[in-house]
Amino acid sequence: MATLGKNLSFTSNKQEAFEGGTVFFICVHTPTKTQGLGKNEMHDLKYLKSCTRDIAAFFAAREMQEDIAIVEKSTVPPRTSTMVAELFSEAQIRFPTNRHRFCVLSNPEFLAEGVAVRDLTDPDRVILGAGSDPVSQAMLKVVQDLYATSVPRDKIICTQLFTSELAKLCSNAFLAQRVASINSLTPVCESLGIDIDQLAACVGSDSRIGSRYLKAGCGFGGSCLEKDLLALVYLASSLGHSETAEYWRGVYTMNEYHKKRLSATVVREMHGTLSGQKIAILGVAFKKNTNDCRGAASLTVVRELLQEGCEIHIFDYQAQRDHFVREYCSYLTDEILTEDQLARIQFHSSELSACQDAQAVVLLTEWDQFLSLDYSALYSVMRKPAYFFDCRCLLEQAALRQIGFKAFKLGFGF
Ligand code: UGA
C-alpha cells in the first residue's frame, strides 16, 4: 500500500519525478475536442502528447541503462500507443539505442467517481495491453507483478495493445447503452401503468443480463460515458463503418431525448405554464457522493425549465453554484446564460429553504440523505398544489401522495 513520505511523494518538478523511474503512468485528462476535426466527439490528446514529450525529452539527454515503460492510464482511442511510441522514438536523436529500450503499455482506468477506492482495492478486472516484443513483455510482467500485490492474478487480463485501448471505450459505451436502454422504457411503463423498477428486476434477474447498472434515472451524465461513447462513434465513422457509428449514436440520442422528456413532463403536468413560478431542484450532481456536475442531466433539465421562465432553486449536498454554472456554459456550448437566466438560478444551503414557496420539486440526484428527509416539512412550505417529480425512482410514491404531493415517479407516472 502507498504511504505518504515513504513510498508515495508528490512534486511539481518533472526532472525530480522522472529520475530513476522505470514505469511512467500517464494519467492526464483526455477531454472531448471542442474544435476542428472530430469536434464534440474525438478525444483531445494534447495533454497526453505534452506529457509524452516531457518523458521523451528527459530520456533524450541520457543513455538509458534499463528498460522503461510508458503506461497509458488515460482513456484514449485505439492506436494512441503508436503515436506515443513515435513521439518518444523520434526524440532519441543523441542516444538512438534508447529506441530499443522502451515500450508503451495500455492500462485503462475503470474507477467510478464516489466509489473509486472500492474499485481500486477490489476491481472487477485490471486490463494490461502490450506488444509482443521482448521489452514490452518484460515490462508487462513488471506492471503485472505490481498489481498482483493487491489484485488476484486471475483478475489481471493481459491482451494486445489496441484491444486494451478499445476495451475502455467499449466498456463505457456498453454501460451507457444499459442506462439508455432502461430509460428508453420509462415512457412505455408510464403509458401502461407499469413500474420500471419491477420491470428492471424481472429483466435483470436473468444472469445473462444481470441486475447491476439497470436503474432508471434522469439520464447518464458525468465526464466519461458520453465522452467515450461519442469517441466510439467517431472512431467507427472515421474507419468508414457508418452503420456501427449510427448504432452507437442511437444510445447518445436516446439519452439526450430522455433528459428533455423529463423536463417536458414537468412542464406538461404543470399545465404548460411555469412562468414566474419557483421550481426546487433536489440534487444537481451527476450522481450521489460527488460534487461533479460535468455532463449532468441537471444541466439540460435546468436549461429547459429556465426557458419556461421559472425560477430554479437548487439544493445539493456537495455541488456548488460556480461549478454548476461553469459546466452549464461549457456543456451546453450553444447556450450562454443571460443575466436574467443567471439571476433565476439560486443555490440554497438547506432542502427546506430551496422548497420555500416552490410549486414543484424535481429530484435529480439519488443522494442517500434524500431517503430520510422530512417531506411533510417540505410540503408545508410549498405552494399548493405541490408537485413532486422523482426522476431517480428513489422514494416511496405512496408516502409522498399520503403527505399531499401530486407525486410523479419516473417510469410509472402519477
Ligand atoms: C464511469 C464507469 O462506470 C467507470 O468504470 C469508468 O472508469 C469511468 O466512467 C471513467 O471512464 O473514468 P462514472 O462516470 O464515475 O464511471 O460513473 P457511473 O457510476 O458509471 O455513472 C454514470 C452515469 O450513469 C451517472 O449519471 C449515473 O447516475 C448513471 N447511472 C448509472 C444510471 O442512471 N443508472 C444506473 O443503473 C447506473
Q: What grid cell was written down for 199?
A: 420491470
Whether residue 399 has its Cβ less than 6 Å from ligand 1: no
| 72 CA distance to ligand 1 middle (Å) | 21
Nearest-atom number in ligand 1 for the CA of 222 is 14
Alpha-carbon span 233 to 89, nearest angstrom: 30
Longest dimension (CA), the chain: 78
Whether residue 113 has its Cβ less than 6 Å from ligand 1: yes
Nearest-atom number in ligand 1 for the CA of 286 is 26
* The pLDDT of residue 81: 98
Ligand 1 atom 10 nearest Cα: 224
Report pTM: 0.96
| 111 CA distance to ligand 1 middle (Å) | 9
Ligand 1 atom 29 nearest Cα: 220
Whether residue 227 has its Cβ less than 6 Å from ligand 1: no
pLDDT in tens, 162-171: 999 999 999 9
Q: Which residues of the chain have pLDDT under 50?
A: none
| 326 CA distance to ligand 1 middle (Å) | 21
* The pLDDT of residue 335: 66
| 225 CA distance to ligand 1 middle (Å) | 7
Whether residue 258 has its Cβ less than 6 Å from ligand 1: no
| 227 CA distance to ligand 1 middle (Å) | 12
Residue with cell 408516502: 399
Q: What grid cell was written down for 292?
A: 461533479
* Catalytic residue from among 103, 218, 224, 310: 224
Average pLDDT value over all residues in the chain: 96
Whether residue 77 has its Cβ less than 6 Å from ligand 1: no
Active site residue 224: yes
**Half-sphere exposure (Cβ direction) of 36: Cα atoms closer than 13 Å:** 5
Measuring CA to CA, how many Å separate 214 from each of 6, 72, 122, 174, 339? 42, 30, 21, 12, 39
Peptide bond just before 385 cis, omega within 30 deg: yes
* The pLDDT of residue 303: 94
Whether residue 220 has its Cβ less than 6 Å from ligand 1: yes
Nearest-CA neighbor of 171 among 213, 133, 205?
A: 213
Alpha-carbon span 302 to 221, nearest angstrom: 14
| 392 CA distance to ligand 1 middle (Å) | 14
Number of Cβ within a 10 Å radius of residue 52: 25
Contacts of 117 (CB under 8 A, 6+ apart): none
Residue with cell 464534440: 40
pLDDT in tens, 56-85: 999 999 999 999 999 999 999 999 999 999
Ligand 1 atom 37 nearest Cα: 213
| 222 CA distance to ligand 1 middle (Å) | 7
Nearest-atom number in ligand 1 for the CA of 113 is 15
Length of the chain: 414
Ligand 1 atom 6 nearest Cα: 110
Ligand 1 atom 9 nearest Cα: 224
Whether residue 222 has its Cβ less than 6 Å from ligand 1: yes
Q: Is the torsion defined by CA of 186, 192, 195, 196 positive or negative?
A: negative
- From 109, 117, 175, 232, give the residue whose CB has the most ligand 1 atoms within 8 Å, as the site to mutate: 175
Ligand 1 atom 2 nearest Cα: 112
Ligand 1 atom 12 nearest Cα: 224
